[in-house]
Structure formats: C-alpha cells, structure tokens
Amino acid sequence: MAATLDEITRAWLQEPRFWQVATLNPDGSPQLTPMWADLEDGLVVINTSAGRIKEENLRRDPRVSLCCMDTEDPYHRVEIRGRAVRFVEGEPGVHVMDRLAQKYLGTETFPWLAPGEVRVAVYIEPHHVHRVVGVEKFRPGVLPDA
C-alpha cells in the first residue's frame, strides 16, 4: 500500500537535493549510492544506466530505501522506503535524465551520456515515510523504565 508523502517530503523531492539510495545485493548486503531524485505522479523517480549494480539489484529485489538530510540541519532527515514498480528504458529514460539534469545542473540535457549507454528511469512507490527533526526518540519498550 502506497504511503502519503507529507508536504516537506514532497518539497524536498522537488528540490535539487541528493538522496542516498540503498538497494540489496544478491548476498543481502546493502549497496548505497547518492542519487538525484524527483517526484512524478506520486512516485519517486531516479535514473541510472542499464548494467549498474543498483539497477540489477532493483530488478532482482525491488525493495529500496532513500534518505536525505537537510544540509542546514543534519538532524532533520527523511527516509522513504518502498518498491521499484516500473523501469523505463531507452529514449524515454533519457528524457527523464534530461529533466533531472535541468533540475540539478541547470542544463537542457544530461551532459555525460556515453555512446551506447542505455538510461533507465526507476519509479518507486513509497510504502513508508519517516521524517525526524532533532534527536530521534526511542521506540516504546526499548529503554527500561526509570
């Protein structure tokens, strides 16, 4: 079931903020990459190249987590957990990358497209959103009663 993104999380996704994207390697270990991200029709969208580890990981196991912290206040952070629900390759994937380049670089197109590279837009349905401002509180029952 899709989670609702609060106003701040939506704003952060629409701003040129870097998101740490975590996928799972075949052995279960985490793989982490800083990424550009955006919001499209309620889905988080990232872009990568075919054959990258994160792309292969998400096709095998669609679970993903994205985390972003406020550069002005690193104790303010947002985590989005979800599932990759759609992969868009080729020219449509390039168009998504161009849109991200406009947002993050201010250029009309993505300037580092390599000859023969296949771009892949990955659409992520958020299932859980966790936003923390300040020091995170302990869950009930974690600390013994004082």
Whichever domain contains 118, its CATH number is 2.30.110.10
In this prediction, residue 137 has a pLDDT band, given cuts at 50, 70 and 90, of: confident
Select from 132, 125, 21, 130 the least CA-distant residue to 70. 132
Q: How many domains does the chain have?
A: 1
Tell me, yes or no, whether 142 lies in a domain: no
**Does position 69 have pLDDT exceeding 90, yes or no?**
yes
Quote the CA–CA distance of 113 and 97 in Å, as a whole number.
Answer: 9
Domain carrying residue 42: 7-133
Tell me, yes or no, whether 67 lies in a domain: yes
Tell me, yes or no, whether 145 lies in a domain: no
For residue range 102-122, what is the model confidence (pLDDT) as tens digits? 999 999 999 999 999 999 999
What's the mean pLDDT in 34-52?
A: 97
Tell me, yes or no, whether 140 lies in a domain: no
In this prediction, residue 133 has a pLDDT band, given cuts at 50, 70 and 90, of: confident
Select from 2, 1, 13 the least CA-distant residue to 78. 13
What is the model's pLDDT at position 96? Answer: 97
Q: Say which residues have a Cβ less than 8 Å from residue 100's Cβ, sequence separation at least 6.
A: 36, 38, 47, 110
**Does position 145 have pLDDT exceeding 70, yes or no?**
no
Quote the CA–CA distance of 37 and 44 in Å, as a whole number.
Answer: 7
Tell me, yes or no, whether 40 lies in a domain: yes
**Does position 54 have pLDDT exceeding 90, yes or no?**
yes
DSSP assigned state of 48 = E
**Does position 144 have pLDDT exceeding 80, yes or no?**
no
